[in-house]
Structure 1
Amino acid sequence: MVAFGKKLKERQIQEWQGYYINYKLMKKKVKQYSQQMQVGAQDRRHVLKEFSRMLDTQIEKIVLFLLEQQGLLASRLAKLGEQRTALLEQPDISQISDLRESYRAVGQDLLKLLFFVEMNAIGIRKILKKFDKRFGYRFTDYYVTTRANHPYSQLQQVFKHVGLGAVVGAISRNLADLQDRQGSYLSIYDQPTLTVQDPVIDSIKAAVDRLTHSTNFLHFLGQHALIMQEELPTPIEEQIDDQRYNFMSLILNLANTFLYMVNTYIIVPTADNYSLSLGAAATVCGVVIGSMAVAQVFSSVYFSAWSNKSYFRPLVFSSIVLLVGNTLYALAYDFNSLAVLLIGRLFCGLGSARAVNRRYISDCVPVKIRMQASAGFVSASALGMACGPALAGLLQTRFKIYKITFNEDTLPGWVMALAWLFYLLWLWISFKEPSHESHENNVAQQVSTEAVESKLENGLTKPLLLSSEEKERDEDDDQEVDGSEEAPEESHRPATSIASAYHLLTPSVKVQLLIYFMLKYAMEILLSESSVITTYYFGWTTSSVAIFLACLGLTVLPVNIVVGSYISNMFEDRQILLASEVMVCIGILLSFHIISPYSVPQYVFSALVTFVAAEVLEGVNLSLLSRVMSSRLARGTYNGGLLSTEAGTLARVVADGTITLAGYLGESKLLNVTLLPSLFICICSIIATCFTYNSLF
């Protein structure tokens, strides 16, 4: 793979080369500072100030050039405005057409300028990350705090491109007005939905959104999937994706996601009753529900590795294992065996193919529709989460066929077994296995570079000797082997083990994973113990619990519409992140049973606050996680999606185990005992967020 330094050089607009961030120089300076500090020739304070001044100079160069180009574009637009005024007095169709093309030409030049800003913004982020990794302290925190929040911030000029909005508005308005509207006097300000869908405007809008991280519902929802993309995907990569993509295969992956989430939550309203019918305590429902997550911790890894070679075979295996698991779950009642029940749920966890579903979207869906597919993945999960308990509420019947019992406890297993059987047949008939040539090339490339990677890792203790020819080539490609962690990162090789993936985690990423663990833990405590708690305090029936859980699940999409379309465009992600954590904490505090009697309004309101805040938190958390996580974790078996899945699954395992252990103290103490760990983890995550707040940009 091509290093970032070389990629930056190749993508530069030739006539503007002198105005880009000098990434190569900055990288060399970081190396020099490291060597000087090792021999005691420099102290950290001096390095911090000198590197800050150097970065200030680079950013000032970028900003001044940006302002100059904005002025040139504004001047051209002013002249075109004069021509447009003259045409209004004496309309000429041919001249209107020429004028429209002139506006499009300005739009194309604006696109070049936006691309220039985007490349520099990426370069600044990467050099800040490199400095932090090399010196082991938060330079980014210091730099962003002192520069980004200053009233004369030049850093904000790069990341927020102040002033370009007026240019974008002028081009958009005039192109829209020059369209033939057959006598209409409507403008883009009167009815925004009537704006002309000119390809230039669409491209400009996409470029602006990337720079400001502004978002819409679809984009915000898609971020929940944490399907990471390369910073600058090439047309060649997109062409490969088109060759591997099959619409029906994508639908089958989304159907697998939906059915698995239904399978996960369909037993929640009845797990406590099922445990009681088998002679166990009601709180054993925590183990019954959590056993699926225990198996998923392991299945996520082998399914992620399997998807390097095939998508069809792991999906077939998943369907068969889930068919067997649900059948065992249903038969446990007639066998009167808690062991069979748990084995059935373990089999269901071993069939979790979410890693395959995510990898298919990441590797095989074209870039232009990948965000829609990611949103579909999250929507399927949310819909399954709501449908699972709702379906359980409908299965309130009891009958026998021969010696097999069908009741509210066993029917969820039988229904899901039948659903997986139909899915398996559909999969066998309709799925099209994509080509894995690109994956084989990646594997071969990894094998050929194992020796180099080993030397890079050993470079921390001894220098890597290069021949003069290799040194020259290394200089040209801007791939200095300096023993830093950035060298393997910039090569974009995927992590080859959990250990190597862990080494790529910066403090910011670790905090984001802690937040993800916290929100999943809080949600699992809320959902898994809901049946026991509501039965003990309020005497709710299975149908009442099912309706309550289904209503919670149905809030996912509306909440994401509000956050994705409005709130995320009004506030920074890190502001929403911290506010959401505080709201989760408030929801947990409101849930405690302190004042007697414990009322339904208190429980429902606190549960709603906790669940909705956790949903908002999940979206912004994964959005920030994809931004601060190393690009090496964008692909391969041990990718960012797998790490987040493992963190969330581990949280569910711990939460369900907590419910069962707390059950030994009695159902009267269950609520408060299980909420205490949630509160503690939530407070820890808030404190950790405050410490890394300024590095989340």
Structure 2
Amino acid sequence: MDELRFPPLMSLCIILSANFLFNLSFFIIVPTATSYTKHLGGESLFSGLTVGVVTLVSFILVIPLSKLPKFKRKYSPTLDLSSACLILGHIIADRTGVLYLVLLGRMINGIGLTGCFFLKRYCTDPCIVGVRRRTTCTSLLILAQPLGMVPGPIVGGFLARIPMKTALFNKNTLPGWFMAVVWSIYWLLTKVLFKDVTDTADQTLDMTLNANALREKQARYGLKRQKPLAGKNCNRAVVSPLFVSCLMSYTAFVIFFELGSWETSIPIYSWKKFGYDAFEAGNFIGLIGLGTVFLVATMPALAHKIQDRLWLAAGCFLGLAGIVANYILLGGNSGHMNFPSYAAQWFVVCLGFNTASSITLSLLSKNLGNKSSDRAAIAVQLSNYSGRLLGAIWGTAADMVGDRGVALGQLLVATVAMVGIIAMWRFLRAQRG
């Protein structure tokens, strides 16, 4: 297999654009989620549920969808399903003005966001991407994540400022209508520009994987039979992939738990502390996050020079440092928390965890090998979904546990991930690029 294989440029652009739009769809509603819920008679915690239920539905459906023959090796059906569900979900959530129908619309959006898994699988599919191009490809995919996350709250806050007060078009519903139009345009472009995996390439991949498996069996049981590994080395060979899989899955969960909880807690805390409305909170989330994009953008260029485990450790350490600072400043005299310190904390958290998020999938796929690339993508994506769901809900729980209680929860889950990375350091070595 060609280790340097790279996807067709236009098809890769469609995949990256999908990840951008998934994040834009998810975060554009964050500034107005609480106000929309309260306008319809709900509580702040319910607004977190309307944000997080998207990932709950995706979590439930991603494995059944991945088993369907139509979705197993093709990517066009995924793009069609995602586009249709995100258009329909946004319309239902913002057309009805009924609290539980808003929840239903977000659940339909969740069906569309199952596409996140297939995008990750695309970037580690041995039929499309060589093993020495996976970190580059996944870094580009993850770069599209903050590019969607950053303008999402800004655009949502800007649309909330437009002076329209009809039942159909108002500050709470305009973000959904905007995204329905954007997804309609994107769907049309996929039909024109996206080139799917051919059946010939798929058959070639299966033949190559079977040949590799046969060579491994011959090496193990053939005439030149290898000596079995000694007890300690044998245990290490079997146990380390399992531990690496568990660690990468948990780290992926932590990354999206932290980002999700910060993004839903900022509108609540900034309103109490600084008097920010939805527009100002959206700008705070987005503009500060914008500064991280330029730094994360250097990762694809440096992927061949820096080991994956160094990227992962540095990103998690930065994120943890921001959380520690937040927890300390929220305690005692709350006057220590001002705009510069709060902005710096969000910048460091956003930069650190966005950096680390590009590594979990590529590192896991390299450790598990080509034949298990689907398993790696599923494990990481399920962790992303669960982290985003619980993070979105936890970020709105300040009324129940207090702002410092929210920060403490963030601190605990991030600390476990950092300790795991240090403990498993020698098992995290993988090919660069």
TM-score (norm 1): 0.52
Cα distance change, pair 524–277 in 1 and its aligned pair in 2 (3 A): same
* Separation of aligned partners in 2, 1:670 and 1:577: 30
Relative contact order higher in (CA < 8 Å, ≥ 6 apart): 2
Cα shift readout 1:152-171 (whole Å, capped 9, x = no counterpart): xxxxxxxxxxxxxxxxxxxx
Cα distance change, pair 506–415 in 1 and its aligned pair in 2 (3 A): same
Map of 1:411 onto structure 2: 174
Map of 1:431 onto structure 2: 194
Percent identity over paired residues: 21
* Separation of aligned partners in 2, 1:674 and 1:275: 21
Amino acid at match of 1:475: G
Question: How far apart are residue 471 of structure 1 and its match?
Answer: 8.6
Query: Is residue 262 of structure 2 the alignment partner of residue 526 of structure 1?
Result: yes
Which 10-residue stretch deviates more, 612-621 or 272-281? 612-621
* Separation of aligned partners in 2, 1:248 and 1:566: 23
Contact 2:134/2:362 (CA < 8 Å) preserved in 1?
no
Map of 2:111 onto structure 1: 350
Map of 1:688 onto structure 2: 420
Contact 1:323/1:418 (CA < 8 Å) preserved in 2?
yes
Amino acid at match of 2:38: L
* Separation of aligned partners in 1, 2:362 and 2:129: 20
Map of 1:586 onto structure 2: 321
Cα distance change, pair 617–314 in 1 and its aligned pair in 2 (3 A): closer
Amino acid at match of 1:551: L
2:107 is paired with a residue of what secondary structure? helix
Question: How far apart are residue 323 of structure 1 and its match?
Answer: 0.9
Query: Is residue 39 of structure 2 the alignment partner of residue 277 of structure 1?
Result: yes
- 1:228-243 to 2 correspondences below 5 Å: 233-234=1-2
**Structure 2 regions of 5+ residues with no counterpart?**
none
Question: How far apart are residue 262 of structure 1 and its match?
Answer: 0.7
Contact 1:258/1:384 (CA < 8 Å) preserved in 2?
yes
Query: Is residue 164 of structure 2 the alignment partner of residue 399 of structure 1?
Result: yes
Contact 1:474/1:480 (CA < 8 Å) preserved in 2?
no
**Structure 1 regions of 5+ residues with no counterpart?**
1-232, 453-469, 491-501
Query: Is residue 56 of structure 2 the alignment partner of residue 294 of structure 1?
Result: yes
Cα distance change, pair 620–678 in 1 and its aligned pair in 2 (3 A): same
* Separation of aligned partners in 2, 1:567 and 1:362: 15
* Separation of aligned partners in 1, 2:137 and 2:298: 20
Contact 1:271/1:289 (CA < 8 Å) preserved in 2?
yes
Map of 1:21 onto structure 2: none
Question: How far apart are residue 375 of structure 1 and its match?
Answer: 4.3
Cα shift readout 1:628-656 (whole Å, capped 9, x = no counterpart): x2215643x42x12211211211112222
Question: How far apart are residue 263 of structure 1 and its match?
Answer: 0.4
Map of 1:616 onto structure 2: 355
Map of 1:672 onto structure 2: 404
* Separation of aligned partners in 1, 2:11 and 2:311: 36
Question: How far apart are residue 326 of structure 1 and its match?
Answer: 0.6
* Separation of aligned partners in 1, 2:246 and 2:252: 10
Which 10-residue stretch deviates more, 425-434 or 285-294? 425-434
* Separation of aligned partners in 2, 1:293 and 1:438: 32
* Separation of aligned partners in 2, 1:270 and 1:582: 31
Question: How far apart are residue 374 of structure 1 and its match?
Answer: 4.1
* Separation of aligned partners in 2, 1:410 and 1:529: 21
Match of 1:537 among 273, 296, 317: 273
Whose Rg is larger? Answer: 1
User: What number of residue pairs does the alignment pair up?
Assistant: 414
Question: How far apart are residue 295 of structure 1 and its match?
Answer: 1.4
Map of 1:360 onto structure 2: 122
Root-mean-square deviation (Å): 3.9
Match of 1:384 among 148, 151, 157: 148
Cα distance change, pair 400–690 in 1 and its aligned pair in 2 (3 A): closer
Map of 2:380 onto structure 1: 644
* Separation of aligned partners in 2, 1:365 and 1:323: 29
Question: How far apart are residue 621 of structure 1 and its match?
Answer: 5.0
- 1:118-517 to 2 correspondences below 5 Å: 233-234=1-2, 246-305=8-67, 306-333=70-97, 337-352=98-113, 353-363=115-125, 365=128, 367=130, 373-395=137-159, 396-399=161-164, 404-439=167-202, 474-476=221-223, 505-517=241-253
TM-score (norm 2): 0.81
2:168 is paired with a residue of what secondary structure? strand
